[in-house]
Amino acid sequence: MAYTKTKRPYKKEYQQQKARGEHKNRMERQRARRTLDKNGVKRTGKDVSHKKALSKGGSNRDGYRLESPSKNRSRNYKKKKKKT
């Protein structure tokens, strides 16, 4: 929603992000990207994908890799149904 008549409440949005746990995950993603940059890995046009999704409780310790954006973003991390 666009704020046209009032100023955007950045402080409130930041507090809400922290309460939802988004801040921690964003920092994990940022640390992974910075580590790859520090090691001289060319990540142009690629996404850093975590082997265990951050939304499922993963972290950088579980591992991460470079992947194409379409492959990384198309994954939905849901269990596959078994055929009977």
Residue 55 maps to a domain: yes
Residue 1 maps to a domain: no
Average the pLDDT over 57-70 and give the result. 93
Total domains in the chain come to 1
In this predicted model, what pLDDT tens digit does every residue of 44-63 receive, in sequence order?
999 999 999 988 889 999 99
> What domain range includes position 58?
10-72
Residue 82 maps to a domain: no
The predicted pLDDT at position 84 comes to 66
Check pLDDT > 90 for residue 31.
yes
Helix axes 22-38, 10-20, angle to 10 degrees: 90
Closest CA to 65 of 82, 49, 54: 49
Average the pLDDT over 54-83 and give the result. 86
Residue 2 maps to a domain: no
| pTM of the entire predicted model | 0.73
Greatest alpha-carbon span in the chain: 57
Check pLDDT > 90 for residue 22.
no
Higher per-residue pLDDT: 68 or 78: 68
